[in-house]
Structure 1
Amino acid sequence: KRLAYVPDFPFLYDKLTPWEFLRFTGQLFHMNEQDIETRTRDLIPRFSLEPYLRKSIESLSHGTRQRIAIVSALMHNPEVFVLDEPMVGLDPHHQYILKEVLKERAAQGMTVFLSTHQLSVAEEVADRIGIVHMGKLVAVGTEEELHNLGGEGNAELEATFLALTREESDVAVQRQLHQG
C-alpha cells in the first residue's frame, strides 16, 4: 500500500477495459467502489482517459496504456512512487500533465523516484538528482550542488552530467584498450 511502481513498459491485463483494470487495481489495495470512483475522478480526465474506459486495453496505444498504468499507481495515494522512464510513449501534453501531477504529489509529501534519460525532465521535477553512470552512482545532490561538483556553474544538467561522467568513461575506455 505504501509503494507504487510504473515500469517503462507496464504490464496491464489486455482483455480488461481500463475501467475494469482500475477497479481491479483498487480492489487489490482494499479500496471500496466509492473510494475508487473518488480517487480516479480527477486523474481520469487529467490523463484524457474518458474515451478509452470501455475499450479493450489490448486495442490501446502504448501512450494510453502508460497513462492507465500511471493512474492505477496513483489512485491508492502511495507514500513512495517509483517511475522508470515514464515519458516513453507519452505525447508532449501528457508529459506536461505527468510532470505537474508529480510536482503536486511531491508537494503533498509523496516521495517520487524517477528514472529517466531525459535530463530536462529531471531538471523540471526533481529537487534532488542522482547521476548513475555505468551502473555506479556517481553523484547525488540538488541541481545546483551537481553543477558545482561538475564545475559547470549554471550550465544545463546535460553539461554537468557529461562533466561528472567523462572521467569515468575515460577510465573505462583505457581499461578496455589495455585488456584488448
Structure 2
Amino acid sequence: MLEIKHLTKTYGDKKAVDDLSLEIKEGEIFGFIGHNGAGKSTTLKSAVGILNFDEGDILIDGISMKADPIRCKKDLAYIPDNPDLYDFMSGIKYLNFVGDIFEIPSDLRNDRIRKYADLFEITDDLALPIAAYSHGMKQKLALISAWMHDPKLIIMDEPFVGLDPKASHLLKEMMRIHCDKGGAIFFSTHVLEVAEKLCDKVAIINHGKLIKVGTMDEVKGDDTLEDVFLELEAV
C-alpha cells in the first residue's frame, strides 16, 4: 500500500530524514513514534506529496509519488498535526469543496457527510464558519473530510490531539474498521499507550534514522512501548 524507499530529506546541512525505508501493507494500522524534531512530520509530508525529497522514492499502491503525484493523491487522505482549514468557509462548504475535488457523487457525498457528522456530533455546527470552530471541532471536520472519499491509505500526524475522549474512541474504531476493509493507516503519535493498544506495527525514528520497526510484540517484547522508546531514545 505504502512503500518508502531510502527516503532522504535535507534542510541545509541537516538531514531531517536519513535513508529511511518502511512498508505499510493493506490492513495495517502503523504507528510512527519519535521525539519532536525526529523527522516524523517530514516523512509524512513527503509521503503525501507536500514536500519534495532529495533521495529515494515513495510508492502509493505501486505508483511513484515522484512520477504521478496526482494519481497517488487520489488514493490517500492526509490530516496534519494542526488542521489549517479555510476559516472563511462554513463546515458544510468545506466538505463539499473536498467532495468536488475528489469527484464524489452528490448522493454518496451527502450520505457520508451526514453519517460522520452525526458520529462526531457536529451536524448542527456545519453551517457555522470554520473560524468559529474550536481546535477539536476543526480536527473532527478534517477527519470527516479524510474519510469522505473512502481512500485506500490514510496518513495522519498526531490525530488524537485536541479530541475529547469520546471522539478519540470513535476515531480508533474508524481506523480499525478502515483497515479491516483492506485499507491502511500510517500515523504519528506521542500517546504511546494508544499506539501500544491500537497498532499492528510500529516504527521508532530518532534524528532522522529508523532505529526500530516491527510488530508490536517484536518491538516491545515483555516491556512497555514507553520503556522501549525511552531506552532507544537514550542511545
TM-score normalised by length of structure 2: 0.67
Partner of 2:209: 136
The residue matched to 1:82 in structure 2 has which SS?
strand
Output aligned runs, 1:20-169, within 5 Å: 20-148=93-221, 153=222, 155-167=223-235
Q: CA deviation at 1:29?
A: 0.2
State which drifts further: 63-72 or 89-98: 89-98
Stretches of structure 1 lacking an aligned partner (at least 5 in a row): 168-180
Q: 2: distance between equivalents of 1:106 and 1:157? A: 22
Partner of 1:6: 79
CA contact (8 A) 1:16 1:57 kept: yes
Highest relative contact order (Cα 8 Å, sep 6+), 1 or 2?
Answer: 2
Q: CA deviation at 1:40?
A: 2.1
* Partner amino acid, structure 2, of 1:28: I
Superposed CA RMSD in Å reads 1.1
Q: 1: distance between equivalents of 2:113 and 2:196? A: 28
CA contact (8 A) 2:114 2:123 kept: no
Q: 2: distance between equivalents of 1:51 and 1:123? A: 35
| Deviation digits for residues 77-118 of structure 1 (CA, Å, limit 9, x no counterpart) | 001100000111111111111111111111111110011111
Q: CA deviation at 1:41?
A: 2.7
* Partner amino acid, structure 2, of 1:160: V
CA contact (8 A) 1:63 1:90 kept: yes
Question: In percent, how many aligned pairs have the same letter?
Answer: 39
CA contact (8 A) 2:77 2:151 kept: yes
TM-score normalised by length of structure 1: 0.86
The residue matched to 1:25 in structure 2 has which SS?
helix
Q: 1: distance between equivalents of 2:203 and 2:189? A: 11
Aligned length: 162
The residue matched to 2:82 in structure 1 has which SS?
coil
Q: 2: distance between equivalents of 1:41 and 1:106? A: 22
Stretches of structure 2 lacking an aligned partner (at least 5 in a row): 1-73
Q: 1: distance between equivalents of 2:144 and 2:126? A: 12
The residue matched to 1:93 in structure 2 has which SS?
helix
